[in-house]
Structure 1
């Protein structure tokens, strides 16, 4: 019979190994995919992340399909990233094994929000990224230098994302240079987080004003409003009052710039949120319907089927055993 070992490499990753019983020592590896639906947004090309417990269950099922026997699995083995460090004098050997850098996929979400120039989306994405781990050490023994290096690295990431979002490269680099120069002049840094947010929002606002179509500010105001009010029914009259434009002007401007109606765009964003709730929560469809401002469950189901050609119940079954 084959043998099984379960490994936990961090708070976000785990994998199992099945060693097959032959002379060549062949193995099968099951690795959790942490590129979740909320990470990339490509619902057909991505799988949800799974827990260590579910990975163990999947491994048992695979083992049983191979050997027709339920395996005995020991407690998971923890693998620290430090296990791969070979330099004896590396200062990182002194780091505690339960310290983790910020999550890469949350970083991608945060930078994607910056690319789109949507401040209301960037702020929570940045907070999620910051809360996902620690910044790490770039300069040992010098906290000020370490803080400056982290801020400069963040500025570099923001610059690249801003260029993708439509800022002319030379303008983005010039803004980056000014930020770095200001960072270098600092003699004290009380909060890396506050400065990171300040620099990030500076780039977000530049992206927002640099969109290719002439009424980009208005379009992104509309998208900002929709993102902030996903838990409410779409009400164009209230939106026009809040933004200070007539309803007809809002609708015609948005349609011209995006080739879709405001209501259609808002419904698309709501359906994306519904998909995340179906996969990552145990809320009922009725609860999700109320949470996102749908009039009733039947309307949510009708809209869901219109956009995805399936029902919420059928969609959830794909990801839950």
Structure 2
């Protein structure tokens, strides 16, 4: 005859750790008539906890890599590549590109179950390194981080190894070219700060007083220093940069011309057209039509 077993899942209530500890201390005192502190118990229990060790796993991984003769990209070539990005050396990139983080050397493995995903992870790491090198080389931080976000998002959309490596190469050339351009104009620290601030605020109001406060210089002194180093006045430089931005919007978007002028803080359309023609020789509409027909 089989015996029937009844399960009582809710027979014992679940207790919080602190409640269990208090009950344990009470039981210990009831038996031994001795008091012990919570701290002593916690320290004792901590000492009894087994350490989680991964030496065996890492040793096996290293052994497996040696058997496969798996060697990561030579760090020497990676350092040269990043140094070329930092110094804007466009002409030197091809010499190291094939042996560095986008070359044909053995790639590391960041995803054992998906080779494409592993390469994407590695290239994303590479973008982060290149971004930092470009900033060290003088590229505007906000520009560098925005580019980094753009290329990382694009990398995640790629579905083939060739596309991933091609995009990575494009990113390297893009960062290096921008660093090279930044190095052509060597300005003093205050003027560099002004230029970076203007780049970051093209869609906002920019005043000389704002920048002079950032640079800790008087507006008059900053204005004369800006014209001396850059060659044009503060206000004219802002106009110039906004027109460059307008050209990009006219080329790559379908925004109405009126909206572009408004976005870039031009007071009205006629003034926007006047300033645009001053720097380009043609109207915004002519510029957009010219770009469409090319």
TM-score (norm 2): 0.45
From the CA coordinates, give the structure whose radius of gyration is larger.
2
Whose strand fraction is larger, Structure 1's or Structure 2's? Answer: 1
